[in-house]
Amino acid sequence: MQLKDLCKGVYKSCPSLTSHEKFIDALFTAAGGNLYLSPSYKKQFYSGDKQLTENQKSSLRGRDNISSLTEFFETNISDGQSSVVIAAFGVPEKAAPNKKALAAALALQARAIFNSDEDEVDDIIAMEYQKALSEPSTSSPQQALTPLYPGDSAWTEFKPHQTYAVECYEKIVHTWIIHNTGNQTWYGRKLVFSNQDRVRPRAEATSIDIPDTLPNQIIRIVANIDARHIEGKFDCEWVMQDADGIDCFPNSRRMFYIYIETIYKPQNK
């Protein structure tokens, strides 16, 4: 999934955004960026002729923008056009689409594009749409953004992927690149595989110490994960906990999650 794919799948269903440039402008504003771009640059971002540079992406990162991005998609996709957008991204849905769930999924896809060092990221729209349907939020947008410690913030890159499709006898070496984008220094924290007792993949270590990290610092955390010869689709819930074992980002549930699908393929003898 590239930025151009997201734009082309949504734009035609947003009648109030009457040009490609206006769509790009509104999307970047919803993401919280302060990009000063010429009309020709905006057209090229939309078409894919240009990709966002690292400096341009940096202004869109480290922001609590899921609420504003969700509002952008929910507001601008016209009533009755959710089915068009759903179809554009190949999301399986027989019933009338849930516009709020779709907007939430699109917001997470947009953030994944902005947060990645690569121009292309995993397509997570169908997966996040289904999660949004099964996990309706009763909290307000502001509550949804609140960390355990005021001013604490992080954003995460997933290397090589956030979503894995592997053969069930494989082992995965996964890396989180975690940016401390808030004003809290992280002391005594750890990354914890909180639901390992409920999923089949097993990590070599279920609790990994996080080094003391100052604001604006970047750390790498590596986990070795065994698929364990069992087929299935698994949400592996990793959370950052403080020294008392409390989730530091209780309302940003997918900040460190990874998703593993294991498939059995007979090995040639």
Note the pLDDT tens digit of each residue in 69-85: 888 898 888 888 889 99
Task: Identify the top-confidence range among 105-114, 135-144, 203-212.
Answer: 203-212
Predicted local confidence at residue 34, as pLDDT: 61
Structure tokens at 35: 């990009």
Question: What is the residue-wise DSSP string for 9-45?
Answer: HHGGG-TT--SHHHHHHHHHHHHT------HHHHHHH
Domains of the chain, by residue range, sit at: 3-143, 154-263
Helix axes 125-134, 99-115, angle to 10 degrees: 130
> Who's near 18: CB < 8 A, 6+ residues apart?
none
| Among 186-190, 212-216, 225-229, the least confident range | 225-229
3-state secondary structure of 213: strand
pTM of the model: 0.55
> Who's near 103: CB < 8 A, 6+ residues apart?
70, 71, 72, 73, 74, 77
> Who's near 182: CB < 8 A, 6+ residues apart?
147, 149, 151, 152, 153, 154, 215
Are the CB atoms for 61 and 181 separated by under 8 Å? yes
152-180 confidence digits (pLDDT tens): 888 888 888 888 888 888 999 999 999 89
Predicted local confidence at residue 259, as pLDDT: 86
Residue type, 63: R
CB atoms within 10 A of CB 114: 25
CA distance 86 to 69: 17
Predicted local confidence at residue 232, as pLDDT: 86
Q: Nearest to residue 208, comparing CAs of 200, 199, 219?
A: 219
3-state secondary structure of 207: strand
Are the CB atoms for 67 and 141 separated by under 8 Å? yes
What is the layout of strands, in order, in the sheet containing 238-241?
A: 207-209, 190-193, 238-241
Q: Which CATH architecture has domain 154-263?
A: Sandwich (2.60)
3-31 confidence digits (pLDDT tens): 899 999 999 999 888 889 888 888 888 88
Are the CB atoms for 16 and 73 separated by under 8 Å? no
